[in-house]
Amino acid sequence: MAKRRKRLNKKGKFVIFLLILILIGVPTIFLLSKNGNVKNKDKNSTDTVKEEKKEEKKEEEIKIIDLKSNTRPYAVMINNIYTVWGYQCGLQDAYIIYEMIVEGGYTRLMAIYKDKNLDRIGSVRSSRHYFLDYALENDAIYVHFGWSPQAQNDIKSLGVDNINFISYNGYKRDYSLGLATEHTAFTTTNNIMEGASYYGYRTTTDEKPLFDYTENIDLSSMEGAIIANKVDIIFSASRSTQFEYDSVNKVYKRFQNDKSHTDYVTKEQYTAKNIITYKVNNYKISGDTSGRQTLENIGSGDGWYISNGYAVPITWEKTSRSSKTIYKFKDGTNIKVNDGNTHIEIQPSTQTITIE
* Residues 195 and 231 placed together within one structural domain of the fold: no
Domain that holds residue 103: 74-199
Average pLDDT, integer, range 341-355: 98
**Which residues fall within 8 angstroms of residue 236, CB to CB, at 6 or more apart?**
101, 105, 106, 348, 351
* Residues 337 and 257 placed together within one structural domain of the fold: yes
Last residue of a domain, one of 199, 220, 254: 199
- Using DSSP's 3-state secondary structure scheme, residue 291 falls into coil
Last residue of a domain, one of 199, 234, 261: 199
Q: What is the tens place of the pLDDT at every residue in 298-327?
A: 999 999 999 999 999 999 999 999 999 999
On the question of pLDDT at 38 being above 50, the answer is no
* Residues 237 and 346 placed together within one structural domain of the fold: yes
On the question of pLDDT at 1 being above 70, the answer is no
* Residues 225 and 350 placed together within one structural domain of the fold: yes
Question: 49 falls in which pLDDT band (50, 70, 90)?
Answer: low
* Residues 227 and 349 placed together within one structural domain of the fold: yes
Spatial contact of 226 and 309, defined as CB atoms under 8 Å apart: no
Number of structural domains, the chain? Answer: 2
CATH code, domain carrying 240 = 3.50.90.10
Q: Is the dihedral of CA 69, 62, 328, 344 positive or negative?
A: positive
* Residues 232 and 342 placed together within one structural domain of the fold: yes
